[in-house]
Amino acid sequence: MGLLRPYDQADTPEETPAAPAPKAGASAKNRPTPTRKEAEAARLAAVHPKLTRKQVRDANAAVDRKRQAERMEAVDNQPERVFMRNYVDSHWSLLEFMMVLLGVLVVAMMVSTVERFAFLIAVVTGLLYVYMVAGFINFFIVWLRFKRELFARHPNAKTKGLAFAMLSRMMSIRRMRQPPPTIKRGDPY
Kindly report, residue by residue over 163-172, the tens digit of the pLDDT.
999 999 999 9
Amino acid residing at 179? P
Going by the DSSP 8-state scheme, the letter that residue 113 receives in this structure is T
Q: For residue 179, is the peptide bond before it cis, meaning its omega torsion is within 30 degrees of 0?
A: yes
Distance of CA 56 to the CA centre of its chain: 19
The answer on pLDDT for 16 being more than 80 is no
pLDDT in tens, 58-106: 999 999 999 999 999 998 899 999 999 999 999 999 999 888 888 888 8
Query: What is the reported pLDDT for 102?
Result: 85
The answer on pLDDT for 56 being more than 60 is yes
Q: Model's pTM, two decimal places?
A: 0.63
Query: What is the reported pLDDT for 22?
Result: 56
Band the pLDDT of 13: cuts 50, 70, 90: low
The answer on pLDDT for 10 being more than 90 is no
Query: What is the reported pLDDT for 7?
Result: 60
CB 138 within 8 A of CB 94: yes
Distance, CA of 171 to CA of 93 (rounded, Å): 8
Residues 6+ apart with CB under 8 A from 118: 112
Name the residue with higher pLDDT: 25 or 153. 153
Query: What is the reported pLDDT for 150?
Result: 96
| Domain positions in the chain | 41-77, 78-176
Quote the mean pLDDT of the chain: 85
Query: What is the reported pLDDT for 188?
Result: 85
The answer on pLDDT for 5 being more than 80 is no
| DSSP per position, 34-95 | PPHHHHHHHHHHHHS----HHHHHHHHHHHHHHHHHHHHHHHHTSHHHHHHHHHHHTS--GG
- Poorest-confidence range of 117-121, 148-152, 174-178? 117-121
CB 159 within 8 A of CB 80: yes
Give the 3-state secondary structure of residue 50.
coil
CB 126 within 8 A of CB 48: no
pLDDT, mean of residues 144-153: 96
Band the pLDDT of 108: cuts 50, 70, 90: confident
